[in-house]
Each structure stands twice: as structure tokens, then as C-alpha cells.
Structure 1
Amino acid sequence: MRLCPTGTGAGRKKSAVKEKAENGNPGGRRLEVLDIPEVEGVDMPKPHEFLSAEQRDGSTLQAEEIYKETWEWLKKIGCAAKVSPQLLERYAMCSARWIQCEEMTNRMGFLSKHPITQKPIPSPFINIGINYMNQAVRLWNEIFQIVKENCSTDYGEVSPQDDLMERLLRARKG
């Protein structure tokens, strides 16, 4: 059996509902349109406890906060029911872990000692952080694609993804 090398999410992204409507709905399918912000929201699913687990250093993981902020934003624009809680949890966890790695890099520096040779090597938190950041961006793109496909108006306000850098800067101040 041969698997597709490009994987899930490959190919052309779907057009936004707004674009389809403006272009006369070229596919001819029924468009499901959500109007922002008049759509009635749903109650936020309770985040799993691991999103706010106590960490080894005694701090609390920030993933639950990110989850709640993102869900509130989705509710505000009328797309909360369209995004699965599991996708939100994965995004929140990756974002929180990225922030955690950045905090560790700030605390411990960019260099570490090799365990055998004792020579300087790049801090492992840098690559771990980059991996979490890339995962968070991919997951955010999935979330935003759902928003884009289901919103009939342009959304120009600040999104939770824009606030991640602000959260990182706040964490550095203590």
C-alpha cells in the first residue's frame, strides 16, 4: 500500500465564504454563512486538567489561559461551534510549550555544555521551542482556515495568535 507523501492538509485551501459569495458562488453549492457577531454562541467545553498542570519547577502551564482566550475569540466571531475542542487544546498546548521553552532559554542562556565533552553546544530548548512554535502555527492555520471558510465578513481585529508574542513578553517581565 502506498501513502500520499504530501499528507493531510495538502492541496489548495478552500476559499472563504465571503469570496465565494462575491464571485457568484462558482461551485453552485449551498453556502453556509455565519454573520459576525450576531450568531448565538455555545458554552465553552471544559478544558482538560493537563492544560493547567503544575510544572516541575512549580509554575503552572499557561495552556488553559490560551485555550480560553482563543475559545472566547471564536465565540465572539461566531465560530466556536465549528472548531473542535481537541484542536483548540492542541493549539493551546503547543503555544504554551513554546512560551515555556522561550522562558527557559531566557533563564539558562543560548548555550549549554555537552554532557560528555563539556564543550559549548546550543541550548536544546531552542530547537524544542522552534518545533512547538511550528506546530502552534500549523494548528493556528487550521483554526483560522475554519474561521475563514465560515465567516461572511472580513475580520480585522486582534486575534489570540497575535497576542502570543505579547504573552511571551509579559512572562519575561515576571
Structure 2
Amino acid sequence: MPTKSNNIGGRGGARPGAGRKKTAVSEKAKNGNPGGRKLEVLNIPEVEGVEMPKPHDFLSAEQRDGSELQAHEIYTETWNWLNKIGCSSKVSPQLLERYAMCSARWIQCEEMTNKLGFLSKHPTTQKPIPSPFINIGINYMNQAVRLWNEIFQIVKENCSTDYDDAAPQNDLMERLLRAREGK
């Protein structure tokens, strides 16, 4: 029987995101640095003139139904929040784009579920089946949450001060509700 150390068949080993998350620098400093290692506190100065990296055009591409994808707005809101708390240079634009795209696609699937309902017809039997937009939406939502956790972990590890401001992730449900109202 193969052991984990053989890694036969691609099994075993550390999984991305598994394990205990790192403690925030501000929390370590507040608790007297229990590990005893030297803390690397980043004092990020207020930098004037830092511009948001230009998001790719596909984040605001026209959709088949004529609407515009909301990923560009989500990207901009998230980058502005990161810039406000001084962590915009720590999060890659590609990570932000993936998060924005997954969040926008999740909202799009929710809109389609609202428009078309929870049931669909099977293409061959014509019997009712669950709408495919439900599972697609769940997958996009899970990806968006994983990507947000990655972004937030970077913020948590690099911020030396506490922040009480609202994060863009908290506003996704509100964005979904606004989309339902057609605003």
C-alpha cells in the first residue's frame, strides 16, 4: 500500500488554503508578540498619485442580452477600498480581476434564476429539472468567496492598524438586490 510520502497518483500533500491562517501583525503587536519573533510592521505612507491599474476590457464587456458585465465596478470598488486602507500595492491586479469576474458572474446567475425561475425543461425529455443557473451560480459564489478570503488574508497580514470601514465583499448582496430592482 503506497504511503503519503510516495505521492502516487497526485494524492496527499498540502492543499492551497489549508491549515491555520496567519495572525494579523496588529493582533500580534497588541498581544505582546507571543511568538517572540521580530515583527515586520509595514508603515505604508500616504502615497499621492497612485493610480488604479487599468482593468481589462472583458470586465465590462457587453453581454449577449445587451447588458454590461458589472465586474469592472466590483474591481474599481475593491481597489479603492484596498487603496484607502493602504494595501492596494500588495494585492495583484489579476487576483482582483478574478474576484471581480466571479462576483459579477454570480450576480448574473442570480439575475437569470430570478428571471427564469428555479425550474427548467430537460432538452430531450422536456421534464422539469432544476435550473442550471443555480449550480453555476453556486460555483461562482464559492470561487468569489475563496478569492475574497485570499485578498482579505493579504490585507490582514499587511495592515498594522485596525479598520472598521465597510469592505466591498459586504456589499455584494446589496448589489444583487439593486440589480433585482433594475437600478
Same fold (TM over 0.5): yes
Aligned match of 2:145: 137
TM-score, normalised with respect to structure 2: 0.88
Distance 2:163 2:43 in 1: 12
Q: Which has the larger radius of gyration?
A: 2
Deviations, residues 115-161 of structure 1 (Å, cap 9, x unaligned): 11111100000000000000000000010111111112222221100
Counterpart selection for 1:10 from 18, 21, 26 = 18
Distance 2:46 2:24 in 1: 18
Give the secondary structure class of the aligned counterpart of 2:129. Answer: strand
For these two proteins, the number of residue pairs brought into alignment is 172
Residue 27 of structure 1 and its aligned partner are, at CA, apart by: 4.3
Structure 1 unaligned regions, length at least 5: none
Between 7-16 and 115-124, the greater mean CA deviation after superposition = 7-16
1:106 lines up with 2:102 in the alignment: no
Aligned match of 2:102: 94
Q: Is the Cα contact below 8 Å between 1:34 and 1:150 reproduced in 2?
A: no
1:40 lines up with 2:47 in the alignment: yes
Distance 1:145 1:101 in 2: 27
Percent identity of equivalent pairs: 76
Counterpart selection for 1:54 from 54, 62, 65 = 62
Q: Is the Cα contact below 8 Å between 1:55 and 1:61 reproduced in 2?
A: yes
Aligned match of 1:163: 171
Between 14-23 and 84-93, the greater mean CA deviation after superposition = 14-23
Structure 2 unaligned regions, length at least 5: 1-5
The one-letter code matched in structure 1 to 2:181 is K
Q: Is the Cα contact below 8 Å between 1:16 and 1:151 reproduced in 2?
A: yes
Q: Is the Cα contact below 8 Å between 2:25 and 2:39 reproduced in 1?
A: no
Counterpart selection for 1:20 from 7, 28, 40 = 28
1:115 lines up with 2:100 in the alignment: no
